[in-house]
DNA sequence: CAGGGATACGACTACCTGCG
DNA sequence: CGCAGGTAGTCGTATCCCTG
């Protein structure tokens, strides 16, 4: 008991060290923040806090500002005066859309001088967004992929190699436990054991985009049609809030799929059913889910 | 280094709600 | 009423990490 407490303390110390290491050192640049409220106004323009304008911006303010996103790409924004406020207008909408800003997300604007701002984006949980925009780089990459246009059906024809899980060095709990576990018996044996059965093509798949691989289970392709998302992927790349994603495959078609975030489950639900049916997904098929943009998922299907 | 406890995560079921 | 969507909870498995 005590040992587990100690390990927890160690983990906490480690995570706090990690957090500290991410903090900018002695950043004295003037800054202001904005919390995004999803509405028509927020997506069209952004008011720069008047106090920030008077204290940090030149009186003869240029009519253009530059926002440098977390990706390093820049957006040119028109700055104008409206009803006594200084607002970012033309160009802001593009920045807003490219970053798919969501409700209660937090933006930190650091002024580098010359109306140039570094922008950091944080989820409402307080964690910084790392994957943030369809930047030029990303757009280029998407184009690259389109140009390559891999023929997935051909890849699927390659002999699917069933990967022996072999991860656990020790005896699994299942082996240790008696086979008469009531819960275990209540489930069809085929419903499990899907893990580690990714096809060779799926195993070999690599991408410059964040992605996760998944071998489809019964629950993915039959009622209740849910697709669980690995927590590690959620933590690293997805918002801690419900979002509508656009799923696409190599066949120039897209589906709207709702991503549901809760303390217990992180799943794709609404819309996934349609996607699974339209693509004739079956238990045992391997899929790679590639996050090519904040709310755009490209799905590579490798038939079993 | 092996064994075992603790824990995180994935898979699944059950149940509720809303809508046609 | 049936179906689809959404949520909460349970259980099994994999993995981490401590101990001997």
In this structure, the answer to whether residues A37 and A116 fall within a common structural domain is yes
What are the φ and ψ backbone dihedral angles of A290, each rounded to 5 degrees?
Answer: -110, 120
A223 CB neighbour count, 10 Å cutoff: 8
A140 CA, B16 C1': Å apart = 45
Instruction: Give the CATH number of the domain where residue A210 resides.
Output: 2.40.330.10
In this structure, the answer to whether residues A158 and A287 fall within a common structural domain is yes
| Domain presence at residue A252 | yes
Nucleotide closest in space to A194 (CA vs C1'): B11
CA A16/CA A222 separation, integer angstroms: 42
pLDDT at A219: 73
Q: Are A218 and A188 in contact (CB under 8 A)?
A: yes
Q: Are A291 and A248 in contact (CB under 8 A)?
A: no
In this structure, the answer to whether residues A203 and A78 fall within a common structural domain is no
pLDDT at A237: 74
pLDDT at A1: 33
In this structure, the answer to whether residues A290 and A235 fall within a common structural domain is yes
In this structure, the answer to whether residues A160 and A113 fall within a common structural domain is no
The 8-class DSSP code of residue A49 comes to P
In this structure, the answer to whether residues A266 and A200 fall within a common structural domain is yes
Task: State the burial class of residue A301 (Cβ atoms within 10 Å of its Cβ: 0-12, 13-18, 19+).
Answer: buried
pLDDT at A21: 33
| Domain presence at residue A186 | no
Q: Averaged in consecutive runs of 10 residues, what is the pLDDT profile of chain A (304 residues)?
A: 34 34 52 74 78 82 80 76 84 74 76 83 67 42 35 32 28 32 30 48 74 75 74 72 75 74 72 76 76 80 75
Is the pTM above the cut of 0.85?
no
Strand B, nucleotides < 7 Å from a protein CB: these are 2-15
| Domain presence at residue A298 | yes
A289 CA, B2 C1': Å apart = 38
CA A187/CA A49 separation, integer angstroms: 58
| Domain presence at residue A21 | no
In this structure, the answer to whether residues A77 and A205 fall within a common structural domain is no
pLDDT at A135: 42
| Domain presence at residue A131 | no
CA A277/CA A246 separation, integer angstroms: 16
In this structure, the answer to whether residues A158 and A261 fall within a common structural domain is yes
Range of the structural domain that residue A56 is part of: 26-122
A19 CA, C19 C1': Å apart = 31
pLDDT at A17: 33
In this structure, the answer to whether residues A203 and A258 fall within a common structural domain is yes
pLDDT at A82: 82
| Domain presence at residue A177 | no
CA terminus-to-terminus distance, chain A: 45
DSSP character string of A237-287? HS-SS-EEEEEE-SSS-EEEEEEEE-SS-EEE-TTHHHHHHHTT--TT-EE
In this structure, the answer to whether residues A261 and A297 fall within a common structural domain is yes
Q: Are A100 and A43 in contact (CB under 8 A)?
A: no
In this structure, the answer to whether residues A155 and A275 fall within a common structural domain is yes
Residue with tokens 């023929």: A151
| Domain presence at residue A188 | no
Query: How many folded domains does chain A comprise?
Result: 2
CA A241/CA A44 separation, integer angstroms: 23
In this structure, the answer to whether residues A224 and A100 fall within a common structural domain is no
Determine whether the distance from the CB of A214 to the nearest atom of strand C is below 7 Å: no
Residue with tokens 């889910």: A289
Q: Which of A105, A109, A108, A107 is nearest to A124 (CA)?
A: A105
A275 CA, C6 C1': Å apart = 18
| Domain presence at residue A261 | yes
pLDDT at A215: 74
């Amino acid at each position: 008991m005590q040992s587990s407490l100690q390990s927890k303390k160690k983990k906490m110390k480690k995570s706090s060290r990690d957090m500290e290491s991410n903090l900018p050192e002695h950043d004295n640049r003037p800054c202001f923040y904005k919390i995004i409220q999803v509405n028509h106004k927020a997506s069209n323009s952004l008011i720069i806090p008047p106090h920030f304008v008077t204290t940090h911006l030149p009186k003869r303010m240029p009519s253009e500002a530059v926002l440098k996103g977390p990706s390093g790409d820049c957006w040119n924004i028109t700055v104008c005066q409206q009803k006594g406020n200084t607002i970012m207008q033309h160009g802001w909408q593009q920045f807003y859309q490219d970053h798919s800003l969501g409700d209660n997300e937090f933006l930190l604007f650091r002024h580098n001088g010359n109306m140039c701002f570094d922008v950091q984006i944080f989820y409402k949980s307080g964690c910084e967004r790392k994957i943030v925009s369809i930047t030029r780089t990303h757009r280029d990459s998407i184009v690259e992929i389109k140009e390559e246009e891999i023929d997935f059906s051909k890849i699927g024809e390659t002999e699917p190699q069933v990967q022996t899980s072999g991860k656990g060095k020790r005896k699994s709990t299942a082996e240790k436990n008696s086979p008469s576990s009531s819960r275990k018996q209540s489930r069809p044996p085929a419903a499990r054991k899907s893990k580690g059965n990714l096809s060779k093509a799926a195993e070999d798949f690599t991408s410059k985009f964040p992605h996760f691989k998944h071998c489809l289970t019964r629950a993915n392709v039959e009622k209740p049609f849910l697709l669980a998302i690995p927590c590690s992927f959620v933590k690293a790349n997805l918002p801690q809030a419900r979002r509508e994603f656009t799923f696409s495959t190599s066949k120039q078609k897209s589906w709207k799929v709702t991503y549901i975030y809760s303390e217990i489950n992180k799943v794709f639900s609404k819309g996934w059913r349609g996607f699974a049916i339209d693509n004739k997904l079956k238990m045992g098929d391997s899929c790679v889910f590639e996050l090519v943009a904040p709310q755009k998922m490209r799905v590579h299907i490798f038939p079993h």
